[in-house]
Structure 1
Amino acid sequence: MTNLSQWLATETNDDKLASAIESMAAAGVEIATVLRQAPIAGQTGLAGATNVQGEAQKALDLISNDIVLKHLRENPAISILVSEELDEAVEMSSQGEVIVATDPLDGSSNLDVNVTVGTIFSILPAAGGLLQKGTAQLAAGYVAYGPATSLVLRIKGATSVFTLASDGQWLLTVAAALVPEASGEFAINTARERFWDAATKNYVKESVAGEAGAAGKRYNMRWVGSMVADIHRILMRGGIFLYPLDSETASKGGRLRLLYEANPMAWLVEGAGGRSSTGQQGILAVEPTGIHQRVPVILGSAEEVARMEDWYRRS
């Protein structure tokens, strides 16, 4: 089977970019090992600190962040690191040619119940500075720590999936993931219904109406509460992920962060034939204004994203 190094050799002739991807992949291998042993090592639970977004940090948030920092500091190709867990960007190498933006451990609220969590990352050219549109990404990916540990990557072509083998190698298991154009699943936190805007309420109402509704088919709802887990399911079998702007998050611009959550996931989903949107424009077209900027996020099967956007036009 093709391993990660062999795949990189065919996907890019940019050695700096390839090395940045390999550094994040190596960090993922180490984080996977830590997560497997965390309950035994007593590393679960809160760390007693909050991040720049005011969110309570888990011990494993900080451990994962430290692992990423270690691997990137060892790589002279990395110019700057932006992390969800750090207030400010961290300068790495003055000679570095790429910027890495990352959520080192997405979905950490699920750690205590052994649900899939992940590491999300985006790689940008250092020459463009910190605040670049998603279209400027050189590559993006995530590691999903589940029953199998998966590395999902896209440079410029297709979105590919690797699986961590017992010898520590990443082996290519899906050369080109394909998000089905249509689907009968949607993922949203329905406990937030009281905050939803009209477009979201109408989309969900139409979906749960099933065959008798305007959508004309039956839907199932899925919600893990870990973005990596929800997006991985959609990447493999279709559906739509919804974290739209609502009355509670409007003052912040949304819930999820643009640089290291929305942009890399949009890059991956679009590379697999899906679509991304804020409800008003494509995610990758959003002009960043800050390294921790938040945006609404709608990702998934093209027909479902288009239906959601239509509700925004009508609302």
Structure 2
Amino acid sequence: MTHLPQWLAAETDDRNLAGAIVSMAAASAEIAAILRAAPIEGQTGLAGATNVQGEAQKALDVISNDIVLKHLRANPAISILVSEELDEAVEMSSQGTVIVATDPLDGSSNLDVNVTVGTIFSILPTHGGVLQKGEAQLAAGYVAYGPATSLVVRIKGATSVFTLAQDGQWRLNLAEAKVPAASGEFAINTARERFWDAATRNYVSENIAGETGAAGKRYNMRWVGSMVADIHRILMRGGIFLYPLDSETVGKGGRLRLLYEANPMAWLMAGAGGKSTTGRQDILTVEPTDIHQRVPVIMGSADEVQRVENWYAKA
């Protein structure tokens, strides 16, 4: 069975890029071990601080960020780290050739109820600086800490899925993930309906109408509240994830962060045949203006994303 180092050797001859992925995989394996014992250790509560976005930090947000910092500092290939949990970008190695942007622990509000959380990361070339479009990414990935610990990663070709084995090795179990073009599932927080724009409301209304509506088929709604968990489900069996711009988030530009949430997930979706958009623009073409910039995020099965884009075009 193929292990991560073998896969990397076949995917790229850039040893620094491969090393950055290995460092994130090693950090994630350590985070997975911490999460398994977190309830016993009393680490699932609040840390008593807030991050740069003004969000209350969980103890495990801080612990996970420290673990990522430790692993990346030990790798001279890393020039800069951007983290959701840190106000500013961190200078690492002056000789580094790649930048890592990460959300060390996505969905941490779910920790108290033992729901899947994750780590998301994006890797960019140092020469382009921190604020690069998503299409400039060298690689991206996420780790889902669920019943199994899954590493989903893409360099330039297909999006591949690894599982963390009991011996600590990442073993390839899906070489080419494929998101079905059509689906009967959508993921959105319907409690925010009062804030939605017309395009979002019309798309969801069509889905709820089922066979009697314009979509002509029955839909189910799924919403975990952990981006990694929702995207992993869509990657495996199709669907669409929506966190659109709405009347409450418009002042901030959206809800999810471009560099270390939207861009890496859009990169992975592209490698699996899916689509990603803000509603009006391909996420991977958005010009970043700040390391913590927020954007609307709509991604998943290509036909479903196209339907949403059609509604935005009408608007």
Instruction: Give the alignment's TM-score, normalised by structure 1.
Output: 1.00
Instruction: Specify the alignment match of 1:224 in structure 2.
Output: 224
Counterpart AA for 1:217: K
Over residues 212-248 of structure 1, what are the superposed CA-to-partner deviations in whole Å (9 max), with x where a residue is unaligned? 0000000000000000000000000000000000000
Q: Structure 2 CA distance, aligned partners of 1:18 and 1:280?
A: 34
By how many angstroms is 1:278 displaced?
Answer: 0.3
- SS of alignment partner, residue 209 of structure 1: helix
Instruction: Specify the alignment match of 2:257 in structure 1.
Output: 257
By how many angstroms is 1:26 displaced?
Answer: 0.1
Matches within 5 A, 1:54-93: 54-93=54-93
Q: Structure 2 CA distance, aligned partners of 1:182 and 1:15?
A: 38
Cα RMSD for the two superposed structures? 0.3
User: Is 1:308 aligned with 2:313?
Assistant: no
Instruction: Specify the alignment match of 1:114 in structure 2.
Output: 114
Q: Structure 1 CA distance, aligned partners of 2:102 and 2:172?
A: 23
Instruction: Specify the alignment match of 1:133 in structure 2.
Output: 133
Q: Structure 2 CA distance, aligned partners of 1:90 and 1:256?
A: 21
Counterpart AA for 1:216: G
Q: Structure 2 CA distance, aligned partners of 1:53 and 1:288?
A: 17
By how many angstroms is 1:36 displaced?
Answer: 0.2
Instruction: Specify the alignment match of 1:295 in structure 2.
Output: 295
- SS of alignment partner, residue 80 of structure 2: strand
User: Is 1:280 aligned with 2:284?
Assistant: no
- SS of alignment partner, residue 31 of structure 1: helix
By how many angstroms is 1:121 displaced?
Answer: 0.1
By how many angstroms is 1:44 displaced?
Answer: 1.0
By how many angstroms is 1:2 displaced?
Answer: 0.1
Instruction: Specify the alignment match of 1:239 in structure 2.
Output: 239
By how many angstroms is 1:252 displaced?
Answer: 0.2
Over residues 159-194 of structure 1, what are the superposed CA-to-partner deviations in whole Å (9 max), with x where a residue is unaligned? 000000000000000000000000000000000001
By how many angstroms is 1:253 displaced?
Answer: 0.2
By how many angstroms is 1:285 displaced?
Answer: 0.3
Q: Structure 1 CA distance, aligned partners of 2:41 and 2:54?
A: 27
By how many angstroms is 1:256 displaced?
Answer: 0.1
- SS of alignment partner, residue 235 of structure 2: helix
User: Is 1:175 aligned with 2:194?
Assistant: no
Counterpart AA for 1:214: A
- SS of alignment partner, residue 265 of structure 2: helix
Counterpart AA for 1:21: I
Matches within 5 A, 1:38-57: 38-57=38-57
Q: Structure 2 CA distance, aligned partners of 1:211 and 1:194?
A: 25
Quote the sequence identity (%). 83
By how many angstroms is 1:313 displaced?
Answer: 1.1
Q: Structure 2 CA distance, aligned partners of 1:64 and 1:133?
A: 26
Matches within 5 A, 1:90-109: 90-109=90-109
Q: Structure 2 CA distance, aligned partners of 1:44 and 1:282?
A: 36
Instruction: Give the alignment's TM-score, normalised by structure 2.
Output: 1.00
By how many angstroms is 1:197 displaced?
Answer: 0.4
Q: Structure 1 CA distance, aligned partners of 2:113 and 2:191?
A: 19
By how many angstroms is 1:297 displaced?
Answer: 0.1
Q: Structure 1 CA distance, aligned partners of 2:57 and 2:128?
A: 31
Q: Structure 2 CA distance, aligned partners of 1:146 and 1:276?
A: 24
Instruction: Specify the alignment match of 1:206 in structure 2.
Output: 206
Q: Structure 2 CA distance, aligned partners of 1:204 and 1:73?
A: 45
- SS of alignment partner, residue 287 of structure 2: coil
Instruction: Specify the alignment match of 1:8 in structure 2.
Output: 8
Counterpart AA for 1:193: E
Q: Which runs of 5+ in 1 are unaligned?
A: none
| Alignment coverage as a number of residue pairs | 315
Q: Structure 1 CA distance, aligned partners of 2:40 and 2:288?
A: 41
User: Is 1:270 aligned with 2:270?
Assistant: yes
Counterpart AA for 1:220: N
By how many angstroms is 1:123 displaced?
Answer: 0.1
User: Is 1:184 aligned with 2:189?
Assistant: no
Counterpart AA for 1:44: T
Counterpart AA for 2:93: S
Instruction: Specify the alignment match of 1:36 in structure 2.
Output: 36
Q: Structure 2 CA distance, aligned partners of 1:284 and 1:313?
A: 19
Instruction: Specify the alignment match of 1:20 in structure 2.
Output: 20
- SS of alignment partner, residue 242 of structure 2: strand
